[in-house]
Amino acid sequence: MDFEQIFTWYFWAYKATPMQGSTMLNMAIVFVAAILLGIIIRMLSNNSRYTSLQKGQLRVFVQPLITFGFLELLFLWMHYERVPYFSRRISFLFIFIAMIYWVALRGRQAYKILPEKYSNHTNTNDRDKYLPHNGQAS
């Protein structure tokens, strides 16, 4: 393969030549693996040995993985069927970049925002023992 053509706009946006069967199979395997990874992570997060923070950190990545897998499989099928505008290589690239961005945002949420949220969470029993009950002063 001539790698110079990868850096041209024509390769990504206009060239509608079909991919080789082995390339499409490898891409399909990667996309199905992303879906399966999302399902496995979701199943692991239901385990009772994890704290609620750890469960939240795991579940953050489920939706992007499954969405990415299904969307890319859809676009791979469109490429196979040569659907105009949706079968271009640039659609794979845009969805891949969007998925990386989405996972980065969700990763930030999982490892920065959620721990801060749980660290500021106070136990209501500890707080309520210092407050008067039923409007009565102690």
Instruction: Express each pLDDT in 79-119 by its tens digit.
Output: 888 777 776 777 778 888 888 888 888 888 777 777 777 66
Q: What is the pLDDT of residues 28-81, one digit of tens each?
A: 999 999 999 999 989 988 888 877 777 877 888 888 889 989 988 988 888 888
Q: Evaluate whether residue 7 is within a structural domain.
A: no
What are the backbone dihedrals phi and psi of residue 18, each rounded to the nearest 5 degrees, phi first? Answer: -70, 150
Asked whether the whole model's pTM tops 0.75, one would answer: no
pLDDT value at residue 33: 95
Q: Which of 31, 24, 55, 32 is nearest to 42 (CA)?
A: 55
In this structure, is residue 129 part of a structural domain?
no
Residue 40: per-residue pLDDT: 93
**32, part of any domain:** yes
User: Do the domain assignments include residue 100?
Assistant: yes
Q: How many domains does the chain have?
A: 1
Q: Which residue range is the domain that position 68 belongs to?
A: 20-120
